[in-house]
């Protein structure tokens, strides 16, 4: 176990559904990330939260809406998705960079999303 958990592990949804992905980290980190992994493409960063503030939105469509209520939890709310959004969604956490080196990112197991 890496200390980062994600639920659900698998999700099938229609294009008109609303669903949410959840990520929780038990490592005492203060930065959290959402990544998307599509078939045969590199992992793509979607969002970064550092100290509970969104510091990066990597040109992600508005049908993906992140929420970070505290430093241990991160959500990705999904609404009116397209079939091409089907992918493995990975959450990660790290200690936000200050003046100290480190920042090793630890990943959860991912949510396999299928949009019909």
Partner 1 sequence: KQEVTQIPAALSVPEGENLVLNCSFTDSAIYNLQWFRQDPGKGLTSLLLIQSSQREQTSGRLNASLDKSSGRSTLYIAASQPGDSATYLCAPSSYNTDKLIFGTGTRLQVFP
Binding residues (CB under 8 A) for partner 1: these are: 2, 4, 6, 31, 33, 40-45, 48, 50, 55-56, 88, 90, 92, 94, 96-97, 101, 103-110, 112
Query: CB 5 → partner 1: shortest distance, Å?
Result: 10
Beta bridge partners of 34: 47, 91
Q: What separation in angstroms does the CA of 38 have from each of 4, 30, 90?
A: 21, 27, 11
Q: CA 81, 86, 89 angle in degrees (round to 5)?
A: 100
Q: What sign does the dihedral 79-64-51-9 (CA atoms) show?
A: positive
Smaller CB distance to partner 1: residue 16 or 102?
102
Smaller CB distance to partner 1: residue 11 or 90?
90
Query: CB 76 → partner 1: shortest distance, Å?
Result: 15
Query: CB 69 → partner 1: shortest distance, Å?
Result: 20
């Amino acid at each position: 176990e890496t200390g980062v958990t994600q639920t659900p592990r698998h999700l099938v949804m229609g294009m008109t559904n609303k669903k949410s992905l959840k990520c929780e980290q038990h490592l005492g980190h203060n930065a959290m990330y959402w990544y998307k992994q599509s078939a045969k493409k590199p992992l793509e960063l979607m969002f970064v939260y550092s100290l509970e503030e969104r510091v990066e939105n990597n040109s992600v469509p508005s049908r993906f809406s992140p929420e970070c209520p505290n430093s241990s939890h991160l959500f990705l709310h999904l609404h009116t998705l397209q079939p091409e959004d089907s992918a493995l969604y990975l959450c990660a956490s790290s200690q936000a960079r200050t003046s100290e080196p480190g920042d090793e990112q630890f990943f959860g197991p991912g949510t396999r999303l299928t949009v019909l």
